[in-house]
Structure 1
């Protein structure tokens, strides 16, 4: 199948990101290190990329496919989901973010290192992978067999319609032959969080740890539901505990949206920021609703 038309259209919105960082050499003398990555437009003057692409950068230059360049300002970052939002003075066509993605779906990883189109083709191998990030926190990712190189990091993973299903991340050193991408669901919640907080990202903290349910787990533990997420721990000094969430509760919805995995829960909380959220739970034979307000977690 010929994907050239899709690549041509998507590439108009993909940019090269050049960075300069002050580092120390082996003699502890300061030196300047240069970095290279990709990004893509999500709205007028705003570009999404991976946080690790611009991490500690003192200077960021964004270059469009047609050769126009702009210094970039960092609007907001979420290191724990490896996302960053940049402001640039470039007129780029925004790409559409698509939350829905299926295992086996064909995808393209599109990058623009030094303005050269870099495209690889593959399929979605998993939509529900959890790996450990370099910061030590769980990182919720899509897995693909599309080859990922460092220059593509921060660029879009698109479906065959040219819709963004994830942000390519090459930050996992052991990912030989495996590509990962931050799901668009987390990109959308990241952008909504920023919008709600006047241009700043605030990381919300609820204080629970959960496990995705399936039929096998539900049958083994004799649970009343085989969908949703099971609360396996609640921090006693957390907003969740104060609101009445307890170990053993099954969370089925957040703010009216179904929760079928940890990703759904994280995205729902992230989108709300530090606004009150409504959680629907099952506790034994009873169903109920709990209202809880997350608190801001220092980075």
Structure 2
């Protein structure tokens, strides 16, 4: 005879509440909240409690003369000295930026730098007090199906929490500048206007992305710029006030490297960056790279995803020939590409 199935989700209800209490409770009355909270609910509520205080409402006032427009979005404090990450499209063209925390306290903020090519902007809050913050995590360790929690101010409703899963990693998304944002996380956690610039958070309470876009008319397809790309942008803005990057004219997506191809090529990559677009006349096209080439190394350094490609094509490689190792139809090939400096977005 088969043993009865014991569901771990029902175990707290079955095992921790005395039968007398169940019998005494009126029909339809809720059980104790602590009993009903399962692991999923506990993860979401814990993250909301821990990261929520670091999420700011971002209000902007347009410049005089009609250049830019005012609006509302979200941001997240990533350092105790008041560094705040948000979307470039939230603050672009703004004359004034004001932050409001979950307790209703407001402070002015100044723009340290903006990177339209990743739709990211870095602010510094003017408040002297120490702010609650949520540091950026490592987005490379993420897996599809992992819990993802979005916190922000959609449609003006402050401190809203939605939850879903990571649907895909290493996506490319066209920015408002017309260029491709690389290393984008796709999630089904509900986002709406006003969520822009807020954090996408893992069940560990780490900021794994900055929410950036929704495909209108689609069901559950939302996007966030991955934390590793955000970290690179923040470092560049702090050091140089802007992001200088090498441009080779490609868009890419993080994909697994088939084990048999890795063994045959003598590489250790489990993942690489597959080229999904090669701009005609660009440095990559002129060097002979093609769509569906799987980039596994750049100048001898492993490329295990789009974030590596973004990071390695930095200011130091502009104008200098670099070796790009790829797998083409499973066979290793090498190309020499000379990155150009990517022109500033207008």
What per-residue deviation string (whole Å, max 9, x for no partner) do you get for residues 153-175 of structure 1? 11000001110111112354344
> For residues 271 and 171 of structure 1, do their structure 2 counterparts lie closer, same or farther at Cα, with a shift above 3 Å needed?
farther
Count of matched residue positions in the alignment of Structure 1 and Structure 2: 286
Question: Could you tell me which residue of structure 1 aligns to residue 142 of structure 2?
Answer: 101
The answer (yes or no) to whether the contact 2:246–2:339 under 8 Å persists in 1 is no
* TM-score, scaled relative to structure 1: 0.77
Aligned equivalents of 1:175, 1:264: Cα separation in 2: 30
* Pairwise CA distance, 1:210: 5.6
Post-superposition CA distance 1:5-25 (Å, at most 9, x none): 32112012111100122599x
The answer to which structure has the higher helix fraction is 2
Q: Helix, strand or coil for the counterpart of 1:165?
A: strand
Q: In structure 2, what is the equivalent of residue 252 of structure 1?
A: 296
- Residues 256 and 115 (structure 1 numbering): CA distance in 2 closer, same or farther, change over 3 Å? farther
Is 1:122 aligned to 2:164, yes or no?
yes
User: Displacement, 1:272?
Assistant: 5.8
What CA distance in whole angstroms lies between the structure 2 residues aligned with 1:122 and 1:50?
A: 21
Alignment equivalent of 2:110, drawn from 49, 73, 81? 73
* Structure 2: distance between partners of 1:50 and 1:168: 8
- Give the distance between the partners of 2:321 and 2:297, measured in 1 at CA: 10
Corresponding residue SS for 1:12: helix
- Structure number with the higher strand fraction is 1
User: Structure 1: how far apart are the matches of 2:145 and 2:85?
Assistant: 26
Structure 2 CA distance for aligned equivalents of residues 283 and 31 of structure 1:
47
Q: Distance in 2 between matches of 1:31 and 1:281?
A: 45
**TM-score normalised according to structure 2 size:** 0.68
Structure 1 residues 38-75: Cα deviation after superposition (integer angstroms, max 9, x where no partner): 10112222100011111222221111222332222111
Contact 2:186–2:221 (Cα < 8 Å) also in 1? yes
Q: Which runs of 5+ in 2 are unaligned?
A: 1-40
The farther-off stretch of 7-16 and 253-262 is: 253-262
Deviation at 1:33, TM superposition (A): 5.2
Q: Answer yes or no: is 1:92 the counterpart of 2:131.
A: yes
Aligned to 1:295: 341
1:206 equivalenced with 2:252 (yes/no): no
Displacement after TM superposition at 1:235 (Å)? 6.7
* Contact 1:167–1:181 under 8 Å retained in 2: yes
After TM superposition, list the pairs within 5 Å mapping 1:41-190 onto structure 2: 41-43=77-79, 44-90=81-127, 91-98=130-137, 99=139, 100-112=141-153, 116-140=158-182, 141-170=184-213, 172-190=215-233
* CA gap 1:125/1:23 in 2 versus in 1, 3 angstroms: farther
Which structure: larger Rg? 2
* Alpha-carbon distance in 2 for matches of 1:193, 1:11: 27
Distance verdict in 2 for CA 1:8–1:211, change over 3 Å: closer
Task: Find the counterpart in structure 2 of residue 262 from structure 1.
Answer: 306
Q: Distance in 1 between matches of 2:102 and 2:121?
A: 20
How much is the aligned-residue C-alpha RMSD, in angstroms? 3.8
> Following TM superposition, by how much is the alpha carbon of 1:119 offset from its aligned partner in structure 2, in angstroms?
0.3
Q: Within 2, Cα distance between the matches of 1:102 and 1:250?
A: 20
